[in-house]
């Protein structure tokens, strides 16, 4: 099928590439001409495992093309996917101006029937607005349908999430459009859930909010574990083995970050308020999340007394492992706070250092070439992102290079017993039993 993806960011680029890889003829459109040019040369602006070779393969096979012309996009695709940013506004509500602009642009070039798909994460009822906008700006009598088809990809495993999805959600009210959407997804082996547009839009916000709720649940438990002298890892293993609960997304830590959860939870709160049914549970999810970083900083201050002029090693800057994305990264917030209190930070991240250097805080810290180099001479080590290589650290070597053996493990990557045996004072999240135990 001929498909057009409008917006070649994280979602658009990965979706378009995977569609091409299953055999569709895909045109990815973006209004950033520099980006389009570099994509045409096979250069990917993000680090996403498996994506770059897949882009190259499908460009070479002539199934994947890039353009900055929306007119060409509307002409090319039987189905037009809108995958433009939906950034948050100051009050948490979603800025839909990019979606609205694309709807007007599509309308301008629409000559014959097209399915217009909302792929971006949008508030419930956006589909109705998109349809209304296209109708208003299109030539009289031209036919189209609007469909909601939310994405559920995670950064770091985006290609796999797209190729082997848990489910495909298609929301629409026209048989003609739904039949075309079924055809788009025919090559994918996954259950397809067909709903009305509003339900499909809600599924996306409801899913992300529930995942964030699970994380905040584990984080709230971590606080109780610290005070009660229990280990949150054991508690979540104990509850997660219940199939009704599930172990995924119950890792306590510094809290969730990234370009989706913080934004989507804030948006869902705003949407529920606009609908007149405030989702107050989600406010608690947010505040538990914020409390994690505050509690962690308190623990660092408590141990180090004064942060000013302290030499601190920070492992991890990305908002999670397997990505170079530092948007709304809790690791970055933590570094900003440490720097604001006068600490000298040397950071290391396997992928995110280039992006971190571009941030204001990037000029105020040092960057090391390896995790061990960052720890050299440090008065404490702080682990802020869950990269697997940090969990595999050689503790004996770390003990040799670090100045004072203090570890603050914001992602519970290390075993407290092993760290203690190597002479470290270890503090994880919600690990009450070992929290203050030292080898002395």
**Residue from 47, 66, 152, 387 in contact with ligand UDX (CB under 6 A):** 152
Closest CB to ligand UDX among residues 236, 368 = 236
- Residue closer to ligand UDX by CB (options 24, 327) is 327
Residue 153 engages ligand UDX in binding (rule: CB under 6 A): yes
Sign, Cα dihedral of 171, 258, 7, 16: negative
Candidate list 256, 279, 422, 426; residue touching ligand UDX; CB under 6 A: 256
For ligand UDX, the binding residue among 19, 144, 217, 261 (CB under 6 A) is 261
State which residue, 253 or 405, has the beta carbon closest to ligand UDX. Answer: 253
Question: How far is the C-alpha of 251 from the C-alpha of 223, rounded, in Å?
Answer: 13
Least distance to ligand UDX, CB of residue 302, Å: 23
Is the CB of 232 or the CB of 300 nearer to ligand UDX? 232
**Are 410 and 254 contacting, i.e. CB atoms less than 8 angstroms apart?**
yes
Describe the strand order of the beta sheet including 64-67 as a list of residue ranges.
64-67, 25-29, 2-6, 79-82, 114-118, 144-148, 168-171, 192-195
- What is the Cα–Cα distance from 54 to 310, expressed in whole angstroms? 45
What is the secondary structure of 381-418 as a DSSP string? EEE-S--HHHHT--HHHHHHH-SS-EEEETT--S-HHH
Q: Please, which of residues 67-106 interact with ligand UDX by CB under 6 A?
A: none
Q: Which stretch binds ligand UDX (CB under 6 A): 48-56, 132-140, 192-200, 250-258?
A: 250-258
211 lines the binding site for ligand UDX (CB under 6 A): yes
Is 260 noted as a catalytic residue in this protein? yes
Count the site residues for ligand UDX by CB under 6 A.
Answer: 20
Q: How far is the CB of 318 from ligand UDX (least distance, A)?
A: 9
From candidates 9, 73, 253, 430, binder to ligand UDX by CB under 6 A: 253
Closest CA to 410 of 338, 309, 360, 305: 338
Give, as ranges, the residues between 323 and 382 that touch ligand UDX (CB under 6 A).
none
Q: Which of 16, 73, 123, 258 binds ligand UDX (CB under 6 A)?
A: 258
Buried b / exposed e over 309-328, threshold 16 CB at 10 Å, is ebbbbbbbbbbbbbbbbbbb
Distance between CA 123 and CA 206 in Å, rounded? 11
Token pair, residue 346, equals 């040397």
Query: Taking contact as CB under 6 A, which single stretch among the options 60-68, 90-98, 162-170, 254-262 is the one that binds ligand UDX?
Result: 254-262
Give the residue from 114, 81, 86, 110 showing the smallest Cα distance to 5.
81
Judged by CB under 6 A, the stretch of 75-83, 148-156, 174-182, 192-200 that binds ligand UDX is 148-156
Residue tagged 């007007």 (tokens): 104
CB of 162 closer than 8 Å to CB of 192? no
Contact 50, 43 (CB under 8 A): no
Near ligand UDX in 17-46, by CB under 6 A = none
Taking the complex as a whole, how short is the minimal distance between the CB of residue 430 and ligand UDX, in angstroms?
Answer: 12
Answer for which of 8, 148, 222, 251 binds ligand UDX (CB under 6 A) is 251
* Selection from 126, 128, 132 nearest residue 97 by Cα: 126
Q: How far is the CB of 104 from ligand UDX (least distance, A)?
A: 27
Considering the rule CB under 6 A, would residue 217 count as an interface residue with ligand UDX? no
CB of 344 to ligand UDX, least distance (A): 26
Q: Which parts of 167-315 fold into alpha helices (H)?
A: 175-184, 197-228, 232-240, 261-274, 280-304
What are the catalytic residues? Answer: 260
Which residues would be at the binding site for ligand UDX (CB under 6 A)?
A: 151-155, 208, 211, 215, 249-251, 253, 256-258, 260-261, 319-320, 386
């Amino acid at each position: 099928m001929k498909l057009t993806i409008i917006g070649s960011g994280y979602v658009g680029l990965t979706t378009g590439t995977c569609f091409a890889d299953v055999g569709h003829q895909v045109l990815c459109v973006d209004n950033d001409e520099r980006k389009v040019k570099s994509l045409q040369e096979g250069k990917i602006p993000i680090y996403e495992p498996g994506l770059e070779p897949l882009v190259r393969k499908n460009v070479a096979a002539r199934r994947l093309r890039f353009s900055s012309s929306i007119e060409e996009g509307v002409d090319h695709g039987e189905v037009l996917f809108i995958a433009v940013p939906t950034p948050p506004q100051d009050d948490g509500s979603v800025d839909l101006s990019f979606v609205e602009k694309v709807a007007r642009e599509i309308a301008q070039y629409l000559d014959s029937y097209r399915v217009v798909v909302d792929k971006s994460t949008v508030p419930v009822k956006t589909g109705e607005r998109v349809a209304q906008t296209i109708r208003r700006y299109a030539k009289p009598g031209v036919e189209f349908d609007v469909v909601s088809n939310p994405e559920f990809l995670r950064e770091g495993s985006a290609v796999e999430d797209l190729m082997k999805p848990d489910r495909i959600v298609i929301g629409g009210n026209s048989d003609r459009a739904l039949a075309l959407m079924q055809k788009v997804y025919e090559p994918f082996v996954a259950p397809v859930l067909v709903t009305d547009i509003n339900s499909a839009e809600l599924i996306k916000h409801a899913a992300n909010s529930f995942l964030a709720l699970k994380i905040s649940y584990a984080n709230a438990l971590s606080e109780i574990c610290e005070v009660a002298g229990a280990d949150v890892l054991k508690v979540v293993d104990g509850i997660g083995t219940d199939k009704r609960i599930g172990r995924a997304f119950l890792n306590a830590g510094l809290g969730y970050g990234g370009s989706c959860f913080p934004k989507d939870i804030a948006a869902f709160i705003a949407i529920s308020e606009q609908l007149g049914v405030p989702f107050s549970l989600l406010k608690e999810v947010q505040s538990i999340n914020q409390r994690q970083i505050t509690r962690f900083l308190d623990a660092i201050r408590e141990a180090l007394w004064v942060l000013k002029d302290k030499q601190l090693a920070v492992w991890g800057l990305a908002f999670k492992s397997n990505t170079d994305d530092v948007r709304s990264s809790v690791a970055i917030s933590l570094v900003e706070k440490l720097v604001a209190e006068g600490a000298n930070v040397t950071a290391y991240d396997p992928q995110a250092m280039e992006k971190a250097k571009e941030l204001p805080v990037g000029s105020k810290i040092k960057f090391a070439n390896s995790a061990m180099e960052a720890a050299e001479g440090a008065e404490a080590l702080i682990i802020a992102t869950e990269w697997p290589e940090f969990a595999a650290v050689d503790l004996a070597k770390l003990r040799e290079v670090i100045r004072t053996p203090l570890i603050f493990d914001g992602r519970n990557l290390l075993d407290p017993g092993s760290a203690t045996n190597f002479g470290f004072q270890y503090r994880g999240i919600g690990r009450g039993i070992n929290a203050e135990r030292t080898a002395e």
